[in-house]
Structure 1
């Protein structure tokens, strides 16, 4: 005697019903029943997108071992329900085997740095290999993603050290270039300052010479009976007294000796010439002494 047995199928699922162990029909979402014990609900298939994460450990061309995580997104094809349910005992195991095969054939041909750059190519190779195989079993491969590439910790530390050393090298070079620019600019500024200072001194001396020449000529022309030598002695004497006044009012000056002699004019002139020669040689003193 057959008794109806009721069950429910959720949305985005399909139920597989067998009669005496042979496929009979598929049941759509909603309430369904089978005639027990002749019929039985042997399984359900979900049409939702599923994801399988596969961890693959392999080595690269430069003999660096790393662990790659490949995320495969797949879905059951509605038109191939029988193949999806009956063809494979464990679809996840089948997908894992193909991922291992592709990754362990592709990664050993690449160096470690190239592996990180070729993630998209590796993912495309995995998807292509799985699509060719799994579609005939009723599964559609939607996407394959390389979600992680994890070398050994010592390798990562070494890579960080290499990168740090390169950046430190660039930093030292940039710092040296900056110091060079500062020194060059400082030298250029110093040279420009000295040039301008020399120009100023030259103009100052020219102005002094022009002024002295004009004063001597005017004095000689306006006062009869004077010679050029006498005019020069008078100017030197005036400058001497100006100098004595300036030295006497200096903060660190304590004593000033003023020369006196019978031949005041010639001695004063000779003394001033000697003082001028001493000044040019850099011999300064806050005491002015003349014999």
Structure 2
């Protein structure tokens, strides 16, 4: 039997915005609204098409690192929005709500991991164009992915606690739910800091490639870098939005208005994945052999 959200979530001295959000939760269920059917279908289709094309390029190029990052992210986004289709007719059923919320909060971390791995592989292929404060090109991916995994774990823990508390069959207090939501804020903030550092390094790296004459007008690498940076900027904006959303409350004025999600999450993530589908890392990032040769050459020069 489906688990329904309790109708007696309470709050002590809530603000006007929290009280409004609380009333929506108690009226509609955990979403605070009925998920828009058209929006959910459109994004499910977009992410589904991108997933299929990404997987095709991954297997064609044997770029398994793209499968583990961008591929997983696109498939999860498709799944999360598909659950929202179900939520349109069953907005008060809790378990699917928790599933889509956790999936859609966490999935951009996989896209971020793709960006980090891209920079790491390009850095090993063109080590002399990296900013001087990066001494070991091979450590780039590891550093940013560790930050990403830590962020993922914190966000997952917070999302699970907040969602399960909101959906519990006992009386739930909005302050308790929102306090668990602050754990998600911590994970998002860590992701945001890591992404900001990444973007600074990526821009500096791109500028040095340009000055070295490696990004001539019309070059495939130049187009790919522009697409990658644009996709990264979109995820950065989305992460900023999610941080603000959770800071205002898991049960709050932003989380219970769907248009915020559709504009500042689904649309931005979709645009980011579409860019990386059209300019696939599987087709533009140097192969393992090239990276290994450049890395060995760089090490030899450092030791000379």
Class of the TM-score when normalised by the shorter of the 2 chains? under 0.3
After TM superposition, the score normalised by the length of structure 2 is 0.19
Question: Which one has a larger percent helix, Structure 1 or Structure 2?
Answer: 2
If asked which structure has higher relative contact order (CA below 8 Å, sep 6+), I would say 2
Please say which structure displays the higher CA radius of gyration. Answer: 1
Question: Which one has a larger percent strand, Structure 1 or Structure 2?
Answer: 1
